[in-house]
Amino acid sequence: DAGITQSPRHKVTETGTPVTLRCHQTENHRYMYWYRQDPGHGLRLIHYSYGVKDTDKGEVSDGYSVSRSKTEDFLLTLESATSSQTSVYFCAIKGSDTGELFFGEGSRLTVL
Amino acid sequence: SQQGEEDPQALSIQEGENATMNCSYKTSINNLQWYRQNSGRGLVHLILIRSNEREKHSGRLRVTLDTSKKSSSLLITASRAADTASYFCATDPTGANSKLTFGKGITLSVRP
């Protein structure tokens, strides 16, 4: 158990509303990631963080922002949700010694 | 665009047969990793191979890496129905600060 939790696990919202997804870790790892998973696209990197207040964009960052004010939490925010952001969002942390990623169970977001 | 591309997209085999999945990538890497995802769950790390390694084994898994061809293969020997899942390769590009990106995945079905 890598000690990673995502919340909420399921959310239904309307177009134009803000949404924040939270990723929490108990392991004190430096690297944290947000991916989205869609049929036919696999996993695509949205944003990732390599330390407190240190973040970088992935390949599908438009429409998303992130914040990491403390080591254990990495927040993903959709400022104004659109239907194209309906997806399953996965948070992951990188093992400090091994380089492998540990994934959360995912957050299913539906934007109506 | 995604760094890794798996092939084939789908594979159906009989229990007891071997399953071979391939991954090609575009840039220099520090390591390449394979993950498994059961339906509705997060991804689980299977095996990591570093750029200076050519082959690695873990139980029924065998991974090869050919950096000159920018390709990797994952072999699952003596497959079981429980191996039915989606499999993804992920690359850790050189000089990209651990910006791990995934392919679109391979759906493996193992028939009892």
Query: Is the CB of residue A17 less than 8 Å away from at least one CB of chain B?
Result: no
Task: For residue range A90-107, list pLDDT tens digits in order.
Answer: 999 998 777 899 999 999
DSSP annotation of B83: G
- With CA atoms as reference, the chain B residue closest to A108 would be B40
Which position has the token pair 């990623």?
A101
Distance CA A106, CA A8 (A): 9
**What is residue A2's predicted lDDT score, i.e. its pLDDT?**
64
Task: Say how many CA atoms lie within 13 Å of B58 toward its Cβ.
Answer: 10
Task: For residue range A36-90, list pLDDT tens digits in order.
Answer: 999 888 899 999 999 999 999 999 999 999 999 999 999 999 999 999 999 999 9
Tell me which residue in B33, B42, B101 faces A45 most closely, judged by beta carbons: B101
Task: For residue range B33-91, list pLDDT tens digits in order.
Answer: 999 999 989 999 999 999 999 999 999 999 999 999 999 999 999 999 999 999 999 99
Tell me which residue in A42, A48, A50 faces B102 most closely, judged by beta carbons: A42
**What is residue B2's predicted lDDT score, i.e. its pLDDT?**
55
